[in-house]
Amino acid sequence: MIAQRTAIELSDGRELIYFDEKPGADRSFPDRRHLPPPPPASQLRLDPLVDEWVAVAAHRQTRTFLPPSDRCPLCPSTADFASEIPADDYDVVVFENQFPSFSDRVAPDEITELTEAVPVRSGIGRCEVVCFTSDHTSSFGALSPERVRTVIDALADRTELMSALPGVAQVFPFENRGVEIGVTLHHPHGQIYAYPMLPPRTQAMLGAARRHAATTGRNLYADVLAAEQKAQVRVVAANEHWTAYVPAAARWPFEVQVAPHRQVPDLPALDDAERDAFGPLYLDVLRRLDALFGQPMPYIAAWHQAVVGAGRELGYLHLQVFSVRRAADKLKFLAGSESAMGVFVNDVVPETAARMLRDAC
């Protein structure tokens, strides 16, 4: 649990928050840099052919890309290098992204038109970076269960506050790991996006959940989880409060969903027992993924939380972790069918993936 929460302001006005596991940490270190003001918000353009918003954020072209370890912006600052974190050490840190896809630093614009068919509006929202540890060479899977609890508490803190921002429709915490995924910084970290619109996947999930509730009166995800727990064949691991399983219709070669046994809308709604129980199970899943091919598994870990507005009651918090690696020397590329049409063709049978993960450790 978080013993000390300390918010400071960086030299360009962005917020940074230290989440310390022990009280008394010195967080008075000033930001020694002289940074320009944060960039303007991105622009949202509606694709009328599929009724989906696309963010255009040209300022992100200049973001830091795979710097040497002694110039990592997520490491603690040293006498020779001032990073994003002014302190000389930390447990968990969250700060506003210097190159955000969405920003709450501008007033919401009225919707205008690029053409008669393409509405345009400002990319209102917020993007934050979450540093899991000050150790540049570590990984999420190497964290202690206690540190995972601190991360969960930090994500819950940020989810609650970001959900209250004007115009935010959903808060999405996630982690990208591995150059195969496209990370631009090696330091163990994740991000949080506060979206001003509902992402396409969330819209599809809400539609399915509404239809299921109208037909059965029950929650769709709860029914899917119960069916997996009964079948057992795709369950990878479980404890008193969480179950990790491979979805029956997994899109990715190795995909696991980790779900609490109690329906909760988001991370802030988890109780202490659920927060404590998550770390040991998730760390076990990550170790199994790494053990599959004897090398670090590239992955995306995505927290699916309930929406902020209409449809919130249909949400069921769960974590989706998946990899593009389909064999020791092969990656799953999103080629013609996946990229152009959104139809996934999985190279690994989900039941086989579940068995491989159960046998991995």
* Distance, CA of 323 to CA of 231 (rounded, Å): 24
The answer to whether 75 is a known ligand-binding residue is yes
pLDDT digit string, tens, across residues 236-253 = 999 999 999 999 999 999
* Distance, CA of 92 to CA of 170 (rounded, Å): 23
Query: Which of 189, 212, 241, 304 is the catalytic position?
Result: 189
The answer to whether 187 is a known ligand-binding residue is yes
Is residue 106 scored above 80 in pLDDT? no
- CATH 3.40.50.970 for domain 201-359: no
Is residue 33 scored above 80 in pLDDT? yes
Q: Name the average pLDDT for the chain.
A: 96
Q: Where are the beta strands (DSSP E) in 123-214?
A: 126-131, 170-177, 189-195
Chain-centre distance of CA 334, in angstroms? 20
Nearest to 46 by CA among 125, 106, 123, 109: 123
Q: Is 189 a catalytic residue?
A: yes
The answer to whether 131 is a known ligand-binding residue is no
The answer to whether 361 is a known ligand-binding residue is no
Sheet containing 254-260: give its strands across: 4-9, 15-20, 92-96, 126-131, 189-195, 170-177, 299-304, 318-323, 254-260, 242-245, 235-238
* Confidence at residue 178, expressed as pLDDT on a 0 to 100 scale: 95
Is residue 108 scored above 80 in pLDDT? no
pLDDT digit string, tens, across residues 129-159 = 999 999 999 999 999 999 999 999 999 999 9
Amino acid at 32: R
77 or 111: which carries more pLDDT confidence? 77
CATH number listed for the domain at residues 4-197: 3.30.428.10
Per cent of the chain over pLDDT 70 is 99
Nearest to 44 by CA among 126, 92, 111: 111
* Distance, CA of 92 to CA of 95 (rounded, Å): 10
- Where in the chain do CATH 3.30.428.10 domains reside? 4-197, 201-359
64 or 92: which carries more pLDDT confidence? 92
Nearest to 145 by CA among 245, 76, 239: 239
pLDDT digit string, tens, across residues 298-330 = 999 999 999 999 999 999 999 999 999 999 999
pTM score, two decimals?
0.96
Helix, strand, coil % over all residues of the chain, rounded to 5: 30, 25, 45
